[in-house]
């Protein structure tokens, strides 16, 4: 009996997702990232009655603990382990991000190779963090991806039905750490100069994000006064600082990521691909975020690597391949 034939399109799609599929067991295998585990543990102790920021001293702003409430409650009130619950939450989050990015793209304007890469890019970002799976930087990059595709559409004058969902998702993701705000700030400045201020102020996306950030800031003195009264003093006295910016740049993994990013930015801005330019701005914002923290820790480099990887793949599949096809007089589709 002969085996059923796999349709060529289906076979190519499965091949595109194969590298991401091979990485899934690695990112889900023990041990859980030490910082991710610590935040989950503090969240469990918090809902168990210990006071956050007075008894439980940790410099992270409260949003990440709020986001960890779901897996912490699942671990407390069901038979499911909290670590597994956390991993499932991140996987579901990644699935939502993938779904949104697919909906926000103009597939008719993409070449076949570009289409396959952009289809799989959110999945590669989901698993590409490796040991830093579930870290705050990883969650931020995932939340930023649909926003960057939406920003591409906004720069072209389009309005999408998912814009409020994407704006809220990106605002929450970028609020996990204050330094993450630089990424949407750079993108919004680009859109302001691209669209002109009259068109820009009529766009609801930036205002929706500002509303989310304002609500979050207003909630701090109400729900987390100890963070403002106790923790911020400790942060400014003992946590902020460390290495100089130059010393941070020279950290091996940081230096390599920045060195590889520079030519990508140069190549990206030579073309007229709006998505490439917006990804470049996100990568620059990620680099600034990593440097202002002045620690050089591995997970601070993750956004540079992930945004840089998506940027490199987009350039390779759109700009370089289009040039090769044009020079050979081969139709793009």
pTM over 0.75: yes
For residue 332, being part of any structural domain is answered with no
For the chain, residues with pLDDT lower than 70 are 1-12, 107-108, 241, 319-333
Q: Of 112, 45, 34, 107, which Cα lies nearest the Cα of 75?
A: 45
Asked if residues 13 and 116 have their Cβ atoms less than 8 Å apart, the reply is yes
For residue 236, being part of any structural domain is answered with yes
Helix runs in 129-272, H state only = 136-155, 163-174, 182-195, 197-201, 204-223, 225-226, 232-234, 245-249, 252-268
Q: So what's the pLDDT on residue 7?
A: 52
For residue 212, being part of any structural domain is answered with yes
Structural domain count, the chain: 1
Q: So what's the pLDDT on residue 21?
A: 82
The CA-based dihedral angle spanning residues 315, 318, 324, 330, taken in that order and rounded to the nearest 10 degrees = 170
What are the backbone dihedrals phi and psi of residue 267, each rounded to the nearest 5 degrees, phi first?
-70, -40
For residue 193, being part of any structural domain is answered with yes
Q: Is the peptide bond before 31 cis (omega within 30 degrees of 0)?
A: yes
For residue 171, being part of any structural domain is answered with yes
Helix axis angle for 136-155 and 298-314, nearest 10°, is 30
DSSP 2: P
- Give the residue numbers spanning the domain of 105: 25-327
Q: So what's the pLDDT on residue 72?
A: 97
For residue 280, being part of any structural domain is answered with yes
For residue 289, being part of any structural domain is answered with yes
For residue 161, being part of any structural domain is answered with yes
Q: So what's the pLDDT on residue 195?
A: 92
């Amino acid at each position: 009996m002969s085996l059923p034939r796999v349709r060529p399109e289906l076979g190519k799609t499965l091949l595109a997702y194969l590298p991401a599929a091979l990485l899934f067991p690695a990112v889900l295998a023990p041990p859980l990232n030490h910082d991710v585990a610590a935040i989950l543990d503090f969240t469990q102790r918090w809902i168990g009655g210990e006071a956050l920021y007075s008894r439980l001293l940790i410099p992270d702003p409260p949003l990440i603990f709020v986001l960890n409430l779901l897996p912490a409650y699942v671990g407390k009130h069901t038979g499911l382990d909290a670590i597994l619950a956390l991993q499932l939450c991140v996987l579901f989050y990644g699935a939502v991000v993938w779904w949104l990015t697919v909906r926000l793209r103009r597939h008719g304007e993409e070449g076949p190779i570009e289409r396959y890469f952009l289809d799989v890019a959110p999945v590669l970002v989901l698993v590409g963090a490796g040991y830093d799976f579930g870290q705050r930087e990883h969650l931020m990059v995932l939340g930023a991806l649909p926003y960057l595709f939406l920003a591409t559409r906004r720069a072209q004058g389009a309005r999408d039905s998912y814009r409020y969902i994407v704006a809220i998702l990106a605002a929450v993701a970028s609020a996990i750490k204050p330094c993450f705000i630089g990424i949407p700030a750079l993108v919004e400045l680009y859109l302001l100069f691209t669209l002109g201020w009259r068109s820009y102020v009529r766009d609801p996306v930036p205002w929706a994000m500002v509303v989310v950030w304002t609500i979050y800031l207003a909630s701090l003195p109400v729900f987390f006064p100890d963070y403002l009264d106790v923790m911020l003093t400790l942060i400014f006295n003992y946590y902020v600082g460390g290495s100089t910016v130059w010393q941070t740049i020279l950290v091996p993994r940081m230096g390599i990521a920045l060195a590889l990013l520079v030519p990508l930015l140069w190549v990206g801005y030579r073309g007229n691909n709006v998505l490439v330019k917006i990804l470049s701005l996100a990568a620059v914002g990620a680099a600034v975020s990593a440097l202002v923290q002045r620690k050089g820790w591995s997970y601070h480099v993750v956004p540079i690597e992930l945004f840089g990887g998506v940027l490199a793949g987009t350039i390779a599949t759109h700009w370089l391949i289009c040039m090769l096809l044009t020079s050979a007089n081969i139709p793009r589709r």
